[in-house]
Structure 1
Amino acid sequence: MSAEQIAALRLLHDGDDVAIALRDVAAGEELPVGGRSVRVAVDVPRGHKVAVRPRAVGESLGKYGHVIGTATAPIAPGDHVHSHNLEFSAHAATSAAEAGSSRPWSPPALPERRTFRGIRRGDGRVATRNHIAIVASVNCSATVVRAIADRVERAGILPDTVDGVLPLAHDLGCGMAPTGDGMDILRRTILGYADHPNVGGVLAIGLGCEVNQMEQLFAEFETGPNKPARDLPMVRMTIQGTGGTRATIEAGIAAIEQMLPQVADVTREDVPVSELVLGLNCGGSDGWSGITANPALGYASDLIVAQGGTSVLAETPEIYGAEDLLVVRAKNPEVAQDLLDVIAWWEKYTETTGASMDNNPSPGNKEGGITTILEKSLGAVAKGGHAPLAAVYRYAEKIGTRGFGFMDTPGYDPVSVTGLVAGGANLICFTTGRGSALGSRPAPTLKVATNSDLFRRMTDDMDIDAGEMVEHDVSIEEKGLEIYHALLDLASGRKSASEELGYGLEEFIPWHIGAVM
């Protein structure tokens, strides 16, 4: 379908005040939309909004059937609606009492393919990859961790059944309070990676004098109730205790060589889709995100949940203003209130730091047609499909309830994905309209482009072209099924575009909360 044949404007909801430009439209064009026609006042880029109703200063504007902001200038039909005449506004509060008030969920018809080739661990969980993780307890051991991983990878000693050696280096672990949210999050994140089903062996390295002491970090992991229920080879050491940097690098390499036969002793087998734990994320969103990639991913998510699998939405700042869509899907008031408590924490957090929840849309988001966080959130929530909300998790908390869930994370992509992986996601699906460069390990990432222009420009980085939903009239169901099959291929060992490019080594970024001391 040529650009000239693409319908120019799309109204997403009958009562909306704006339509989306599906192609670049020129000033003076008379275009049909929603049973009427509008004459476009100025050139409007693809993905941006065109007014279909007049709005006075101070009146709200709707998109997706929800308020996305307030007019700051008179708006006439055909006007370009964006930052120059639309601003963020407060949105109506919702209540936990509304839990379960949405229309009953009708799961989609299941496809014939309902298994993938996974690695069954001793504790029953299923892995999609098999890595050795080298964990740094503190930034001071980051150089050693990276050096060991690099030496082992270059030595060519890894058998085909081991997907790589993953250095988990970060900038935390000292200069922070020994107790409290910051340390709790760091330790929960590190241990979540160490105990991830996609990790077959662990080497932990500290400096020796850091606040995040190795004994405290791994105390419950090695002997307490959180001890892994499988035979996970694990070695830990400190640079000071081992004799310095060179000695620790050599000792680390020897430790990996010793655990390698056990780590490599795995085989893939057919396992049901119910063993998938899919993390849902987006970045570099544009005006097409909410009508192409995100709803298509939502359909794929529903297919997985309908088979007893798990999918988890994240990025709390990017559901702000659309949380009511999740509250009404909550399975009970307790889950709904848990989500509202998370929202309230963020409102207080941003207020105390002098920020606003509307600071989230980036310059790239706005260039792509998104004006306010309310608008961005309404499109982002579509990634979660329509299944009931079964659980709400704090950052990096173990994902333990089957079905659709939500994890409290920042909107910053690598920090958000780090939380999902630490929680146990064995796959990530990431949608982007601007072209975010991101991947993740040990859980691989499938990248979905919201528009075909991006897919053509960054073919090496993208796995799926959701722009076909506009350019070739592909349905949500068709594209969602394509994503679903691509996820099963990925879970079965096929490499994603981001894996082929080597992404995932720099994206381990735990959420930092608290003072640097």
Structure 2
Amino acid sequence: MNYKILKIHPRDNVFVALKNLKKGERLVHENKEILILENIPAKHKFSKNNLLPGDGIIMYGTLVGKANTTITKGSRLTIANVAHQTTSFSKKEIISDWDAPNVNKWKSKTFMGYHRKDGQVGTANYWLVIPLVFCENRNVEVMKYAFLEELGFTKPNPYKNYVRQMVNLYQQGKEIDIEYAKIANPELENSSLFAHVDGIKFLTHTGGCGGTRQDSEMLCTLLAGYVTNPNVAGATILSLGCQNAQISILEEKLQNINPDFGKPVYYLEHQKEGTEQNMITKAIQKTFTGLVEANKTERKPAPLSKLTIGLECGGSDGFSGISSNPAVGQVSDLIVALGGKTILAEFPELCGVEQELINRCQSNAISDKFINLMQSYAASAEAVDSGFDMNPSPGNIKDGLITDAMKSAGAAKKGGTSPVVDVLDYAEYAKKNGLNLLCTPGNDVESTTALAGSGANIILFTTGLGTPTGNPITPVIKISSNTSLAKRMIDIIDIDTGEVITGQKTIKQMGEDLLDFIIEIASGRKKTKAQQLNQDDFIPWKRGVSL
């Protein structure tokens, strides 16, 4: 194999540069010589053939763009000479067969999880404190300040000492120039008082009132998913009283997800409780009672079929679609073959691969729902002059993803090859074992927020450029597409799939390594980097256009 360039699919008419290529280099692929006509950075693409204006750009075996100008063989593809283009999609055309991977190695394996009364199993055990409306954010923050340090659920801020050193320098009249080469970042330790509780998570948001009634109802649906998530032991809910997002709506949404819901949930309404002191002291008492109850649940063995894996990417690069995303796709197939659930999010990043996913749907009803959601989303985006073709970020483009279809074809690899058992609208809860498609924006935090709300008890997050994104209740495993990133941002990357690019490991081997790591995280024996940094990102989607 030539480890300088890669043709991903036999039908492709472009190559990926695996290393920086210099103008004038002569490479050989399939016994044919290729002259490189310009400097081509690693991760970028160059033409296999001479292309005329209007000719299709084929990558991953699918149409990902069209030539705007004549592109000579050996020339780099850029936003100047290539435009976004995809094939159309329609009803199911074929019934896809699935060749499931061999999972004998993992059939008897278990993870140590928290078993819930409804049959779900958590990979963590958190208590939630949630406001139904932004008016209660301050009270949530006051409770957070009161609880975390006192119960040992937080760690010292290493930057406080750094600031103190600067204060001392300033007071001494010295130059404020001090390098803090190494800031300690110890893993968060559980409180000895509540040894079986992983923490209290205090969520805040800007919703619940104003906006549209649909926004408030969707917020309640999302919050119901968070309370239902198996990583949550129970919740304290703070309401003002007059807002659109009423307690009764949240209770209804909880019943809709699970009529046998059996977790403790405490509701407090500020306008009934009176003073802030009355409100907060009662909320603290209820929360402490909930922690005592949550601490009675201990980790016990659970089959891997109890895993629900969210599939996400952010800060993608030109290697994401050939290393980290396919490795995650391998994990998705393994989990599905073991009887578990996986959830592929980010509908704007499925643009151009719709027909493949439609053909993988198990029924026409499922594929029709996917078609309707995709068409509705695309129309909403186009209505405000922000179509899916505008999805790639400046960082994506700089690192080789120059069209949305190119980005999407690589992003969809996270979903593996298994059949699609269900299509979920935003905030719908995943209930079917197998691969589920979830309608979310491509925005990293809005999407990971939704995955946890749909029941994911682990999230796999691939990145080529680096992002600190985490989630309050669901461990987010950050997976680098390249070794350079893994070394540069060692504090946020959990797994490096760069060995796929260098040929040291196959996608199959990397996927198996990743599944073994998931078991360690799910069992609480290891913490993700996002957990260690206490990176608790939570942004509900207001159902407007967000790519």
For Structure 1 versus Structure 2, the TM-score category normalised by the shorter chain is over 0.9
Query: What's the counterpart of residue 253 of structure 1?
Result: 284
- Aligned residue for 1:8? 4
Give per-residue Cα distances to partners, 1:121-149, cap 9 Å, x unaligned: 11211111100101110111112112212
Deviation string, structure 1 residues 16-45 (Cα, Å, up to 9, x no partner): 111000011111111123432211111111
Task: Determine if contact 1:129/1:163 at 8 Å carries over to the other structure.
Answer: yes
Residue 17 of structure 2 corresponds to residue 21 of structure 1: yes
Contact 2:46/2:77 (8 A) holds in 1: yes
Conserved? CA contact 1:121–1:230, under 8 Å:
no
* Match 1:170 to one of 205, 214, 238: 205
Gaps of 5+ in 1: none
Match of 2:225 among 168, 175, 192: 192
Distance 1:109 1:131, change over 3 A: closer
Q: Does 1:129 align with 2:118?
A: no
CA RMSD of aligned residues (A): 1.8
State the partner residue of 1:83: 79
Q: TM-score, normalised by structure 1?
A: 0.94
**Which region of structure 1 is more displaced relative to structure 2, 327-336 or 313-322?**
327-336
**What is the aligned partner in structure 2 of residue 241 from structure 1?**
272
Deviates more, 1:424-433 or 1:465-474: 465-474
Q: Does 1:117 align with 2:150?
A: no
Q: Is the 8 A contact 1:6 1:22 kept in 2?
A: no
Cα distance 1:480–1:226, how it changes in 2: closer, same or farther (>3 A)? Answer: closer
Q: What corresponds to 1:313 in structure 2?
A: 344
Deviations 1:281-311 (A, max 9, x none): 0001111011100111111111111010010
- 2:236 alignment partner in structure 1: 203
Whichever residue aligns with residue 131 of structure 2, its letter is A
Q: Can you list the C-alpha shifts for 1:50-99, whole angstroms capped at 9, x where unaligned?
A: 1111101111111111111111111011101121210112x222222325
**Percent of aligned positions that are identical:** 32
SS at match of 2:504: coil
The separation in 1 between residues aligned to 2:529 and 2:253, in whole angstroms, is: 37
For 1:275-354, what aligned pairs fall within 5 Å after superposition? 275-354=306-385
1:264-287 deviations in Å (ceiling 9; x for gaps): 111111111110111100001111
Q: Distance in 2 between matches of 1:278 and 1:220?
A: 23
Q: Which residue of 2 aligns with 1:38?
A: 34
Give the Å deviation of 1:220. Answer: 5.7
Which residue identity does 2:233 align to in structure 1?
A: G
**Shift in alpha-carbon separation, 1:110–1:368, aligned structure 2, 3 A:** farther
Q: 2:417 aligns with which of 365, 386, 398?
A: 386
Equivalent position amino acid for 2:216 in 1: M
Residue 496 (structure 1) aligns with:
528
Mapped to 1, the partners of 2:531 and 2:307 lie a distance apart of: 19
In 2, Cα distance between the equivalents of 1:51 and 1:514?
38
1:457 to 488, 494, 499: 488
DSSP-derived class of the 1:169 partner: coil
| Aligned residue pairs, count | 503
Rounded Cα–Cα distance in structure 2 between residues aligned with 1:500 and 1:72: 47
Q: Which runs of 4+ in 1 moved over 6 A?
A: none
Q: For 2:436, which of 405, 420, 423 is the aligned residue?
A: 405
Identify the residue that residue 149 of structure 1 maps to in structure 2. Answer: 144
Could you tell me which runs of 5 or more consecutive residues in structure 2 were left unpaired when the two chains were aligned: 153-190
Change (3 A) 1:512 1:99: farther
Tell me the residue number matched to 2:187. Answer: none
Find the partner of 2:62 among 58, 61, 66.
66
Q: Which amino acid aligns with 2:53?
A: V
Residue of structure 2 aligned with 1:415, choices 446, 453, 458: 446
Q: Could you tell me how far apart the structure 2 residues matched to 1:267 and 1:238 are? A: 32
> C-alpha separation between the residues in 2 aligned to 1:210 and 1:270?
43
Residues 1:390 and 1:35: Cα distance change in structure 2 (over 3 Å) = farther
Secondary structure of 1:202's aligned partner: strand
Name the structure 1 match of 2:92.
Answer: 97
Q: Alignment partner of 1:328: what SS?
A: helix
Change (3 A) 1:230 1:172: closer
One-letter code of the match for 2:89?
T
Cα distance in 1, alignment partners of residues 334 and 39 from structure 2: 40
Q: Distance in 2 between matches of 1:303 and 1:213?
A: 41
